[in-house]
Amino acid sequence: MNFLQFMMANRQQVLDLTLEHITLAGVATLFAALVGIPLGILITRVPQLSKPVLGGANIIQTIPSLALFGFLLPAPWIGERAGRLAILALALYALLPLIRNTYAGIRSVDPAVVDAGRAMGLTDRQLLFQVELPLASGVIVAGVRIATVVSIGLATIAAAIGAGGLGEFIFRGLAMVNNQVILAGAVPAALLALFADFVLGRLERRLGSLHSKS
């Protein structure tokens, strides 16, 4: 039985696991964005916090992913639900690119433009929402793109703690020493990542050209 025949024979399961995978990675990226983007904004306002926040997110990034899933497993308030645990772990990994890009994006806005805005009497909130965030949006979306692609890749490991997703095929294939089964998980996961990268890349370019319309 070759790879394509295996996919066709198990199409219902491939579809279910793909949807589960999208949910894991999507919800994790969403949570990470809800925390990471405000944190990135915060550290442009309170510069003393930028080192500890970026450093903390960096440290999380250095923990081997399998180990992080394992560490979180005994936590009583999430341990019983592997799905929630996997989302938490994925969100932690996705934090760094989101915080870093939000911070870098806002910092890269031309200081002359920010100064002009402040001198015209914009409040800090108006400056943020009308000037800094729109001009940083391309760089922030680039962070969302990296976070999404990383989450889709890492979500395959969620199967190790029983959270489902396309990793199920990969771990099953490893156990069965069957390449077809491994590929049934790996190929759709790779395609998902490429698709997300493509769509967010287009959005990023559109936002990036927002301030150089010609």
Partner 1 sequence: MTAPPSHASTLEVPAIEFDHASFRLNGRALLHDLVLSVKQGETLVLLGRSGSGKTTTLKLINRLLLPTSGQVRVNGQVTAEWDPIRLRRSIGYVIQDGGLFPHFTVERNIALVPRIENWPRERVEARVRELLATVGLNADLASRYPSQLSGGQRQRVGVARALAADPPILILDEPFGALDPITRSEMQKEFRTLQQRMRKAVIFVTHDLREALLLGDRIALMEEGRLIVDLPVAELSRSQDPLVRAYVEAFSALPNS
Residue spans of beta strands (DSSP E) within 109-170 = none
Write 124-129 long-range contacts (CB < 8 A, 24+): 124/45, 128/41
**Token code pair at residue 142:** 């680039």
Task: Judge whether 142 and 101 are in contact, CB under 8 Å.
Answer: yes
Task: Judge whether 86 and 24 are in contact, CB under 8 Å.
Answer: yes
Q: Which is nearer to partner 1, 62 or 212 (CB)?
A: 212
Q: Which is nearer to partner 1, 16 or 115 (CB)?
A: 115
Contact between 62 and partner 1 per CB under 8 A: no
Contact between 84 and partner 1 per CB under 8 A: no
The contacts of residue 184 (CB under 8 Å, 6+ apart) are 3, 6, 7, 10, 14, 169, 173
Kindly write out the interface string for residues 153-192 of this chain, putting x where it contacts partner 1 by CB under 8 A and - elsewhere. ----------------------------------------
Q: Which is nearer to partner 1, 2 or 48 (CB)?
A: 48
Give the range of 1-9, 24-32, 130-138, 174-182 binding partner 1 by CB under 8 A: 130-138
Among 30, 73, 104, 113, binds partner 1 (CB under 8 A): 113
The residues of the shown chain that bind partner 1, judged by CB under 8 A, are 110, 112-113, 115-123, 126, 130-131, 134-135, 210-214
